[in-house]
Amino acid sequence: MAMTEQPKGPGLGDWLYDKLFHNYIWSSVFRSGYPSTPRNQMLAIATNVFLHLHPTRIHKTHVKITHTYCLGGLSFFMFLGLTVTGVMLMFYYVPDVNRAFTDVQSLETNVRFGMLIRNLHRWMAHAMVLTVLLHMMRVFYTGAYKPPREFNWVVGVILLVLTLLLSFTGYLLPWDQLALWAITVGTNIAGAAPILGGQSRFVLIGGFDVGPNALLRFYTLHVIALPLLAAIFMSVHFWRIRRDGGLARPL
């Protein structure tokens, strides 16, 4: 009895797959199907607005988790997560000394998933400081700042500063005792500068004490100025990685 391989008829799975991914709407969004040939896989990266920050091909040592521990990527995820949860928090929060605290309080109790959103925002903010520091350490100990990546290291240090400032300005917003006094201590540090200390502290908090002006300033910096700057510097950071020939490798 000669066995010839008969192509199996389409099963339920194939039918479902076909209906889901080969319909008019789906293919209007994703112009091609799953990229299964190397050529299509490269095109998938190069032609997708979100993915095209990547190169299309990458040296195999850089795919190993132990090379980067994903720390830069994680910092970026934190930033995205913070943006999303931050926007949600903004729906409920008014940066006014009479409202801020109660807004946060009622966010925790009255808003469905409000506590979760606030927790996510808080823990990601702390974690981001940590992952950025660890990322800096990994870049250092892999000697990845050497030419031609000098400037990207500098961009990195600026990002570190921005991350710290973002975290610091956000700290004041709940307007509780923890916030007020941490920011008082923190801005006093700035006020200790030898010549312009007092003045710079005054500009930073809009007065002599942490009060309504400080809250408004910190809020504005926290939700607009600093995230915008950070986003700009991150774009430069990522773009430079590609311009400098991908991640560093032994010569």
Partner 1 sequence: MAVAAPAARARETVRQKRERDQELLVWPDLVFVEFICAVLFTITFVVLATFFDAPLLNKANPNVTPNPSKAPWYFMNLQELLLHMDKGLAGVIVPTILLIGLMAIPYVDRDNEGQGSWFGTINSVRITVFSFFWSSIWISWLILWDNGSHVLVYQHLPQLWGSNTRLQWLGDKNPFAGWPVEGALKPIWDFIFLRNRLAIRDTWSWSLPVPFQPGSGPHDGRLDWPQDFTRIPLPLNGTWLWHWAQPGWMPGWMLHVYWYKSTFSLPAITAEWAVPILAMLGLPALMIIILRKIGWAHTMRDAIIALFTGFIVVYFALTIVGAAFRGKGQQLVPPYRVPNLNDDPAIQRQVPLSPSQFVVVDARTPGSGIYG
Site for partner 1 in 3-32 (CB under 8 A): none
Give which of partner 1, ligand HEM, none residue 159 binds (C-beta under 5 to 8 Å, depending on kind): ligand HEM
> Rounded to an integer, what distance in angstroms lies between the CA atom of residue 217 and that of residue 203?
9
Q: Which of 80, 90, 157, 185 binds ligand HEM (CB under 6 A)?
A: 157
Interacting residues of 209 by C-beta distance below 8 A, sequence separation 6+: 184
Q: How many CB atoms lie within 10 A of CB 236?
A: 16
**x/- letters, 114..153, toward partner 1 (CB under 8 A):** -xx-xxxxxxx-xx-x-------x--xxxxxxxxxxx--x
Interacting residues of 170 by C-beta distance below 8 A, sequence separation 6+: 125, 218, 222
Q: Which of 83, 96, 108, 240 binds partner 1 (CB under 8 A)?
A: 108
DSSP state of 61: G
Regarding 124 and contact with ligand HEM (CB under 6 A), the answer is no
Regarding 136 and contact with ligand HEM (CB under 6 A), the answer is yes
User: CB-wise, 42 or 234, nearer to partner 1?
Assistant: 42
Residue 70 backbone phi and psi in degrees, to 5 = 60, 20
User: CB-wise, 101 or 145, nearer to ligand HEM?
Assistant: 145
